[in-house]
Structure 1
Amino acid sequence: MFRNYFKIAWRNLLKHKAFSFINIFGLSAGLTCFLLIALFLVDELTFDGFHTQAGSLYRVVEKFTTATGKERTAGSVSFNTSAIVLKDMPEVAATSRLTTFGRVNVSAENNTTVFYNDYTTANETFFHLFDFPLLQGTREALKEPFTAAVTDKMAMKLFGRQDVLGRTIRVEDDSLPYRITAVVKIPGNSHIQFNVLFSEATSFSNPRFREFSSSDWTSTLFTTYVLLKDNKTANSTAARMGTLVMKNRPASADTRKSTFSLQPLKQIHFYPDGQDNERAQSGIMHLYVFGIVALFVLFIACINYMNLTTARFAGRSKEIAVRKVAGAMRNSLIVQFLAEALLITVIALFIALAAVQMLMPGFNAFTGKELSLDWHSDYRIWLGVLSVTALAALMAGIYPALFQSGLRPLQLLKNKLKLSHGHLSFRRVLVIFQFSISIIMMVATIIVFQQLKYVDGKDMGFNKEQLVVVDINSANVRRAATTIKNEYARLANVKNVTVTSRVPGEWKSIPQIKVSTAANPASMQDMYYIAADDQFLNTFQIKLLSGRNFLPGNELADSQYVLINATAAKSLNISQPSEQLIEIPAALFGDGLNTYDTPLRVRVIGIVNDFNFQSLREKIAPMVIGSPRLRVHRIDYFTARVNPVNMAETLKQMEGILHSIDATHLFEYNFLDKQWDLFYQEDKKREVIFLSVAFMTILIACLGLFGLATYAAEQRIKEIGIRKVLGASVSSIISMLSKDFLKLVLVAAVIAFPIAAWAMHQWLQDFAYQVGLQWWVFLVAGGAALFIALFTVSFQAIKAALSNPVKSLRSE
């Protein structure tokens, strides 16, 4: 029986080629979009889920209040936190520590291949808690000093092969080589990423580290993970942990009060800093939005099938009647129509799978992931694909099946069937839904484009174009910074050069300092800090509002002077710089609260115009610019304003100058404008996704509208014939057939506008500087939807208006 159902379904598919093509195209387009977005979401939502103990692993998070009263959260804690947890808390099965001490030169054993890499260490239990796939070696890989685990990709870079167990690598300034004890594969959906992982045991060979670690209760250097025996004890474990740490923390070491929490491993990807803040919530919300969009696109494709199938039911009315007269039960007719829907959906699925394979390389490049959908994929993904296919077939076919199978045979044979308003209203609701989604996506696309264009063109208080930033990666280069800077300045295509600790748009962390005035030393404020020389303002083209800049060649004399931005001047109540004394008692870095032996006392000599040194999501914060000789933060970059003509030759010359000082120094450089673009990389991805989905929803919705127009023309063919016989013009008939559909689009716009306005207002809240919502955006989106709808309907309307009335009236 089922075989016959599919035979009939196949014959009907071939008989009505145009309708079949539209149905298959719509469903395959919907499935392709759904599968791509679903793969992306599955990868995001299963981050760190591949570890077998993922459900019992937690990261220790410390929350504390600084001396200035600001609350901060650190996703890493002191060394002794993990030690005391394991010793005094029986509910903790194991702990692991991970920390990065900076970047070093890592080379193959023959020193011919050198890479600048993070020096990240982990203790010996790391590979027992985290079961990353080991291609070579054992879980005891980090037990001994001067051992390291490398990823398969890093092994290829260093040695050109992956079987490197037992080979050695060298690290800058370390006299002994490191033996490779494991080769690891790091999945893309892991929040822990490394190229080389060094054993923590190596650090204990350094007496300074042994001394530091034995008394460390206050730093936030060590990312600490705990494995609990019972997940239900997480909250109580965190509370007891805080009590133990505070009890052992020396009162003289730090006055801050801390509370601890345990963050589930699977949440770290969404809350990397340990905070459930607006930014993290926004990121998760975007994932949910994409998931809903994927379902909507698929649902819109299913709606098309409903519309097109019911639109051509008149052509099958006699077939249905004959089947019923011959004794066919309603259940068998429902199965027949569902079989047709299933056949079309399966064909669409195969086309969608082929499309996914073709689009996957570009999609991976776009998302920065390594997604795949093949026979090696997780069986649960394939179960999901089959389930979605069956659900799509059911959604697409159930209404036409119930509707067509319930028709009375006598009415069908006499061709006097009249649809109730309920059926027509239902189809109209579907079209309104389709165009509502389309208009929302169009509004979203336009506003995202506007905001990103605004961000790109906004005056940030400095000129980011034509700036080359060169990293300082060795002590030799740092000591010879003045010599290198002067040599860079002599190059023909270099206009200005400056040496700084950080740059606007920094891709590392910009340190913060505490600042108080001599008049009110007890009132401290958090401000950002950049160490810079006398050419900083000229190179970045930052305007000096009042006072003076650092003097050329006077670095030593100016070492006790600072510049501040206008926001800092307002915070400190300084209107004119006159060498006012301010105090810097401490610097707040990413690794914790670092105090000086004695507070630094400096004088304000200049106020500079506010400039954006963070993304435009953040408001301009107070900034202090100090001399490189001020002992807050060491220099880390050369920044040169260059002529873009013959850029490759200029970079080669700059590299040569650097290597004349240190031949082993890696020439790492970035174009600052490109680095700023990375701030908005995720937003640009959203823009492309919204644009693509908007295009697909409009395209699929137009197919649905075409189906409804076809249905309306078929149902009113005799009415049109009579009107033409009575003298109706072609334009009046086109207007008659089109206006009903345009009303549906107008209703869709009325529904879509407030939803789109709310959604995009929420998205814009991520930005401190934003374009806002403008009325013309909604007008353009609504007008575009109306035009597209009119263009789509016109084909059927014109065809019906130009048809010969004799043919339509002959059977009367």
Structure 2
Amino acid sequence: MIRNHFKTAWRNLMKHKTFSFINVAGLTIGLTSFLLVSLYIFDELTFDRFFTHSNNIYRIVESSTSPEGKANQVAYVGYPVSESAVAQFPEIQKVARFSYWGRVNMASPDNVRVIYGDFMTASAAFLQVFDFPLLQGNPATALNAPHTVVVTETGARKLFGTTDVLGKTIRANRVDSLPYLITGVLKDLPVNTQFSFDYVFSEATLVGGDKGKKAQANWNANEFVSFVLLDNKAHPQAVEAKLNQLVAANRQADNKSGLHLTLQPLKNIHFYSDNIEGNLGKTGSLAYMYVFSIIALFVLLIACINYINLTTARFTNRAKEIGVRKVTGASRYNLAGQFMAEALLVTLVGLTLALVLVKACLPAFNTFTEKQLALDSSTDHRIWIGVIGAAITAALLSGVYPAFFQSRLRPVLLLKSKLPAAKGSIPLRRGLVVFQFALSIIMIIATMVVYQQMKYVSTKDMGFNKTQLLVVDINSRKIGRSSAVIKNEFARLPQVQAVSVSSRVPGEWKSLPKIKVRNEHTAVTEGNDMYYLGVDESFLTTYQIKLLQGRNFREGKGDSLSVIINETAARELGITTPGEQLLDIPTVNFGEAPEEVRLQVKVVGIVKDFNFQSLHTPLAPMVLGFTTNPIHGPDYFTARIAAGNMEATMAKMNAIFRSIDPEHLFEYHFLDKQWELFYREDRIRETIFLLAAVLAILIACLGLFGLATYAAEQRVKEIGIRKVLGASSQGIVAMLSKDFLQLVLIAALIAFPVAWLAMERWLQDFAYRIHLSWWTFLLAGLIAMLIALVTVSMKAVKAAVANPVKSLRAE
């Protein structure tokens, strides 16, 4: 029986090729987009879930509240917090600490291969808590000894050209000149983990030095990302309470106010860390996972709606077939099985084509999303279960209504062509068309709004000019000590218009230091949190930042205790004119600064506010200190370079670097390109909305074309009579198109408020944003109307220009 069902279903597909093509094409596109988005979502939802003990791993997060009521969360805590906890609390089985100490010059022993890499350290138990696949070495001992390092496959190839490097050494100029023994080779890290490194050095390397000894005793510092592995029977809340008691007993009295430690589950870090400073990798958005899930389901649902619409529309053509089957003994369940077999066959064909398309699209999709998605024998079995589930769901959505509604009709009515059910199917088809186009219009509006917002952030005045700025890293002490000499040499190059040295740059991808600032002339006893930037006298000129009041820094060492503040800082501190005194207290230690710095500084100038972070973040108070300050030393050169002959200019700059430090690699980037990275995720979402809108419109138009084709076939004699009686072709086209355009108009009216609410909520993520305009919605509606009109007219025009004699003569 099942074999006969599928044989009959195949014959029906071949007999009505146009409708079969529309159904198969719609389901293929729907399933392809659904599978691609599902792979992306699955990868995001399984972030860091592949570790054996992932359910029992927690990150220690420090939360604090300033006297002004500002909440702050950081993912770094002091060394003794986790070390004392594992020693005193039996619920904690192991502790893994991870920390970033800047970029260093790394080289193979023969100095043939030299690179810059991140100097990341990890505690001895790191590879036991996080069981990354280790190709060579022992995870229990690989990071135990000082001057040892574990490398990834990629890291090994960078320095040695091979992965067979166990027992070899590398040089990394961070602590001392001693070589580091390679004690392990890791398989390259997956993309869906917060960790991203090619080299991880043993924490014991630093602990033995003076700075390490200070860190071991410093309960107030924030230097180590610390993870605890709890026993299966442990209660995280109880351990959390013990941690807070431990810290309260050991922290200094002035560092306890508003402080609280929490244990954040590893599985929550990716989606619930937006407000936490010090994340190791980029965070995800759970809200966007919901949005992408809905989009994928909508596109698939639109394809299923096509099937239902075309099946119900063509029902009158199959009425006698169903009647004959019933008269000859077919039961309702036999007929339902036949309809379901047809839906399943169309879905299977669509799924097969979708799998081929997914396989072909994955390389480009991975490049676009920066993922490593795959759909093959190595793919997680849950994904394959999802693929089968999606196909079955699509078949059920497509076939259930025709199977169980149309199969219940009485054979007498079917054979006499008296179909009361057909009357009810018309509102159903109309409702489904409205639903299809409402979804499509929502996606069109979303695409347009995201595009406008991305254009706005690209063109908004940032308070400085970011074009033609070349930022060069200072990754060597020799370069840092000779920064004044290098700056002067850069300035002599004909293409270089201005040069500056600074501790950080606008658009900084590293952490921006914060300090406590108090106006001595006020009664406020606690300082305000403000960002700090160490700059030279050329910074304002190089970045073209406007000085509103006072003066700029002066060359030399005379301005070590002078600062310039932005407008926001001036307002918060109640300063209207430069010349007042401030008390600066850095909350953390930067660079080579002492453990604690308290400075009496003078405000010599006020600059116009400039955005030094993405437009997701509101403007914050900023303090600019001179480069000779004791808080934070120089880390970058910034050169404004005239357009043209850029490669020759950079070659000369590289030569200047190498004359100071022959081993120094010239590492640079253009600032405007760096700013684009802030909005990379937004642009990915923009593209996804655009593709979803295109696919939704395409599938909806396929269905509309099918319905228009059927409508023209059903009204062929009516059209012939109208033409004989003098109706024009334009009038007939208008008649056939009017009903469909009315449905699109209704869809637009439904879509507008839904789209407005959704996009208004999305724009709230930006501190600087566009305002929704009425013309955006009107244009989206007109686009949908135009597309629908073109789609319907393709068939309507053909019917209108047909010879009426043929249509009236044929019976």
> Shorter-chain TM-score: which interval?
over 0.9
C-alpha displacement of 1:597? 4.8
Corresponding position of 2:662: 663
Corresponding position of 2:687: 688
Contact 2:533 2:623 in 1 (8 A): yes
Partners of 2:767 and 2:596 in 1: CA distance: 37
SS at match of 1:545: strand
Contact 1:585 1:596 in 2 (8 A): no
User: TM-score, normalising length from structure 1?
Assistant: 0.95
Contact 1:586 1:595 in 2 (8 A): no
Contact 2:248 2:256 in 1 (8 A): no
Contact 1:60 1:224 in 2 (8 A): yes
Corresponding position of 1:400: 402
1:133 aligns with 2:133: yes
Corresponding position of 1:192: 195
1:6 aligns with 2:6: yes
Contact 2:589 2:596 in 1 (8 A): no
1:670 aligned partner, one-letter code = H
Contact 1:61 1:274 in 2 (8 A): no
1:786 aligned partner, one-letter code = M
Compared CA separation, residues 232 and 747, structure 1 to 2 (3 A): farther
Q: Deviations over 1:419-466 (max 9, x none)?
A: 444311111111111101110111111111111111111111110000
1:260 aligns with 2:222: no
SS at match of 1:497: strand
Contact 2:101 2:118 in 1 (8 A): yes
Corresponding position of 2:150: 149
Corresponding position of 1:563: 564
Corresponding position of 1:54: 54
1:547 aligned to which of 547, 550, 554: 550
Partners of 2:77 and 2:350 in 1: CA distance: 53
Contact 1:76 1:220 in 2 (8 A): yes
Corresponding position of 1:241: 243
Corresponding position of 1:769: 768
Compared CA separation, residues 469 and 275, structure 1 to 2 (3 A): closer
Contact 1:721 1:805 in 2 (8 A): yes
Corresponding position of 1:358: 360
Partners of 1:759 and 1:348 in 2: CA distance: 31
Contact 2:586 2:597 in 1 (8 A): no
Compared CA separation, residues 109 and 701, structure 1 to 2 (3 A): same
Partners of 1:357 and 1:766 in 2: CA distance: 34
Contact 1:305 1:396 in 2 (8 A): yes
SS at match of 1:760: helix
Q: Deviations over 1:241-271 (max 9, x none)?
A: 111211122436x343421111111111123
Partners of 2:329 and 2:177 in 1: CA distance: 92
2:682 aligned partner, one-letter code = D
Corresponding position of 2:441: 439
C-alpha displacement of 1:145? 2.0
SS at match of 1:64: strand
1:289 aligns with 2:291: yes
2:744 aligned partner, one-letter code = V
Corresponding position of 1:385: 387
Compared CA separation, residues 568 and 248, structure 1 to 2 (3 A): closer
C-alpha displacement of 1:417? 3.5
Partners of 1:292 and 1:231 in 2: CA distance: 38
1:46 aligned partner, one-letter code = T
Compared CA separation, residues 679 and 153, structure 1 to 2 (3 A): same
Q: How does 1:328-343 map to 2 (within 5 A)?
A: 328-343=330-345
SS at match of 1:288: helix
Q: Deviations over 1:463-483 (max 9, x none)?
A: 000000000011111110010
Contact 2:712 2:799 in 1 (8 A): yes
C-alpha displacement of 1:532? 1.0
Q: Deviations over 1:572-602 (max 9, x none)?
A: 222222x22222122446899x986552111
1:163 aligned partner, one-letter code = D
Contact 1:555 1:627 in 2 (8 A): no
1:678 aligns with 2:672: no
Partners of 1:801 and 1:61 in 2: CA distance: 71
Partners of 1:401 and 1:82 in 2: CA distance: 63
Corresponding position of 2:539: 536
Partners of 2:426 and 2:116 in 1: CA distance: 67
1:546 aligned partner, one-letter code = Q
1:94 aligns with 2:94: yes
Name the count of aligned residue pairs: 804
Partners of 1:547 and 1:245 in 2: CA distance: 45
1:210 aligns with 2:213: yes
Partners of 1:359 and 1:715 in 2: CA distance: 40
Corresponding position of 1:105: 105
Corresponding position of 1:648: 647
1:423 aligned to which of 395, 420, 425: 425
Corresponding position of 1:626: 625
SS at match of 1:557: coil
Partners of 1:513 and 1:560 in 2: CA distance: 15
Contact 2:99 2:121 in 1 (8 A): yes
Partners of 1:504 and 1:144 in 2: CA distance: 39
| Unaligned ranges ≥5, structure 2 | none
Deviates more, 1:218-227 or 1:296-305: 218-227
Contact 2:74 2:277 in 1 (8 A): no
Contact 1:320 1:405 in 2 (8 A): yes
SS at match of 1:559: coil
Contact 1:68 1:526 in 2 (8 A): no
C-alpha displacement of 1:276? 12
1:322 aligns with 2:324: yes
1:72 aligned partner, one-letter code = N
Partners of 2:526 and 2:339 in 1: CA distance: 77
Contact 2:568 2:619 in 1 (8 A): yes
C-alpha displacement of 1:707? 2.2
Contact 1:56 1:230 in 2 (8 A): yes
Compared CA separation, residues 598 and 623, structure 1 to 2 (3 A): closer
SS at match of 1:469: strand
Contact 2:597 2:631 in 1 (8 A): no
Partners of 2:39 and 2:273 in 1: CA distance: 22
Q: CA RMSD in A?
A: 2.3
Partners of 1:291 and 1:657 in 2: CA distance: 53
C-alpha displacement of 1:201? 2.1
Partners of 2:573 and 2:348 in 1: CA distance: 69
Deviates more, 1:467-476 or 1:60-69: 60-69
Q: Deviations over 1:130-150 (max 9, x none)?
A: 111111112221122222111
Partners of 1:65 and 1:416 in 2: CA distance: 75
1:492 aligned to which of 491, 494, 507: 494
User: TM-score, normalising length from structure 2?
Assistant: 0.95
Deviates more, 1:134-143 or 1:582-591: 582-591
Deviates more, 1:422-431 or 1:485-494: 422-431
Q: How does 1:580-659 map to 2 (within 5 A)?
A: 580-588=580-588, 597=596, 599-659=598-658
Contact 2:58 2:228 in 1 (8 A): yes
Q: Deviations over 1:309-336 (max 9, x none)?
A: 2222333333222222221112111111
Deviates more, 1:358-367 or 1:256-265: 256-265
Partners of 1:232 and 1:804 in 2: CA distance: 83
Q: How does 1:729-740 map to 2 (within 5 A)?
A: 729-740=728-739
Contact 1:512 1:589 in 2 (8 A): no
SS at match of 1:667: coil
Contact 1:510 1:529 in 2 (8 A): yes
Contact 2:312 2:425 in 1 (8 A): no
2:612 aligned partner, one-letter code = F
Contact 1:220 1:591 in 2 (8 A): no
Compared CA separation, residues 591 and 56, structure 1 to 2 (3 A): farther
Contact 1:24 1:344 in 2 (8 A): yes
Q: How does 1:498-537 map to 2 (within 5 A)?
A: 498-520=500-522, 522-537=525-540
